[in-house]
A and B are shown apart, each in its own frame.
Chain A
């Protein structure tokens, strides 16, 4: 079946503008994660959704970042008033369950460039 998909694949925006990044997880996967991959910084956890539970937002770097997951499926990561340091590849992953022992399936990522 189809894997995790993300859109857009590339996004260039001007500093101060808002952006929305979309993630379509694998059908049936209850857990969804957002990460940020920066050059030299590795993979940084942002937020985690598990079913209908309240999301774990502990990794969001500032209140300019928010995410929602509608109907337990598609998720949108929103960055308001973008800054140049927000430039990175944003990765989404889904998993059959959130217990942690199951493999995370990653999307291709969205490369965000803030000019």
Chain B
């Protein structure tokens, strides 16, 4: 069965420090992976998708099929990055979100 795990419920870092939000998945096949973000009092929105190989707001994520991971990284965290981050696995009609990690960037 498809599954997405995000081992950290809460991650706190200081402004300017590197940040890595972990995401692991289980899926037999070629998954499409996404990161969604929800800032305080805002809607859940797409941050980035692995097929685009893009960098959004300084964040990148690389799909590692060997480790079945899709960790989200940013070299220098900013206070405005504080939010709830969800990793999602989508394939065809199967939609699975991870439990989410709350990132808190401290001044």
Contact = CB atoms under 8 A, between A and B. Distances in A.
Interface of A: 3, 33, 35, 40-45, 48, 50, 56, 91, 93, 98-101, 103-109
B29 to A, nearest CB: 12
A3 B88 CA distance: 21
User: Most B CB atoms within 10 A — which of A50, A101, A107?
Assistant: A101
B90 A100 contact: yes
Nearest to B94: A100
Most buried by B among A98, A104, A108: A104
A35 B51 CA distance: 24
B93 to A, nearest CB: 5
Q: How large is the interface on B (under 10, 10 to 19, 20 to 34, 35 or more residues)?
A: 20 to 34
B43 A107 contact: yes
A98 B32 CA distance: 13
A101 B32 contact: yes
Nearest to A46: B95
B51 A106 contact: no
Given A43-B100, A101-B32, A48 B43 contact: no
Nearest to B41: A108
Nearest to A45: B95
A35 B34 CA distance: 16
